[in-house]
């Protein structure tokens, strides 16, 4: 049995096998957390999420109508400029 101080200042008794298992669990949890964070900040993941958000926005009817209107206005300006030459 080992005497171990807890975060709250109390002393808990643990055997060495239990302590080793707890350390292994903590390491596994930490490794999983690091892997999750690495995946979230990787450039490929960030790009993928950004593309998904753009696709979601573009699929909305008001955005499609706005894009169509912008296209029509742009084409009208191009035609107008070409005729003024």
pLDDT digits (tens, 9 = 90+) for 12-60: 666 888 888 999 999 999 999 999 999 999 999 999 999 999 999 989 9
For CA atoms 60, 63, 69, 74, give the dihedral sign: negative
CB 45 within 8 A of CB 39: yes
Q: How confident is the model at residue 9 (pLDDT cuts 50, 70, 90)?
A: low
Cβ count near 52 (within 10 Å): 10
The pLDDT value given to residue 3 = 60
Predicted local distance difference test score (pLDDT) of residue 38: 94
pTM (predicted TM-score): 0.48
Residue ranges of domains in the chain: 18-84
Per DSSP (E only), the strands in 10-59 are: 11-14
């Amino acid at each position: 049995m080992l005497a171990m101080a807890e975060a709250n200042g109390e002393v808990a008794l643990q055997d060495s096998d239990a302590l080793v298992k707890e350390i292994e669990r903590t390491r596994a949890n930490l490794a999983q957390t690091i892997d999750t964070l690495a995946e979230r900040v990787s450039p490929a993941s960030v790009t993928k999420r950004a593309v998904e958000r753009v696709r979601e926005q573009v699929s909305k009817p008001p955005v499609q109508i706005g894009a169509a209107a912008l296209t029509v206005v742009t084409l009208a300006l191009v035609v107008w400029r070409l005729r003024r030459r």
